[in-house]
């Protein structure tokens, strides 16, 4: 059995998208360089992701930031309880 994870997260000024397999990072979006990075060691059979993976990560960031704005507006009148 293997554990496969996809992480997508965002804030007002930052974002992340990464794919992990068994605790090892296989791919992540570098939003500064505007490209996908595959930080796999040279001694394994290299796994590659589709050419449009980075473009999908950019779309996911826009969705995440839109959802963040919606939740902020929906929760703005909620009182904070101890």
Domain count, the chain: 1
pTM of this prediction?
0.80
- The answer to the question of residue 67 being in a domain is yes
Which domain range does residue 49 map to?
4-75
Q: Give the contacts of 38 (CB within 8 A, at least 6 positions apart).
A: 26, 27, 46, 47, 48, 49
Q: Is residue 35 a part of any domain in this protein?
A: yes
Residue 60 lies in a domain: yes
Running DSSP on this structure, what letter comes out for residue 70? H
Across all residues in the chain, what is the average pLDDT? 91
User: Is residue 10 one of the residues assigned to a domain?
Assistant: yes
Backbone angles phi, psi at 23, to 5 degrees: 85, 0
The domain that holds 47 is classified in CATH as 3.10.320.10
| DSSP 8-state assignment for residue 13 | S
pLDDT tens profile 55-69: 999 999 999 999 999
pLDDT tens digits for range 28-52: 999 999 999 999 888 888 888 888 9
Q: What is the pLDDT of residue 2?
A: 92
């Amino acid at each position: 059995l293997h554990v496969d994870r996809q992480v997508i997260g965002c804030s007002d000024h930052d974002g992340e998208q990464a794919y992990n397999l068994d605790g090892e990072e296989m791919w992540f979006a570098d939003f500064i360089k505007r490209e996908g990075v595959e930080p796999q060691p040279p001694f394994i059979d290299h796994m590659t992701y589709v050419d449009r993976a980075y473009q999908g990560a950019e779309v996911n960031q826009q969705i995440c930031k839109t959802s963040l704005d919606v939740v902020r507006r929906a929760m703005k009148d909620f009182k904070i309880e101890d």
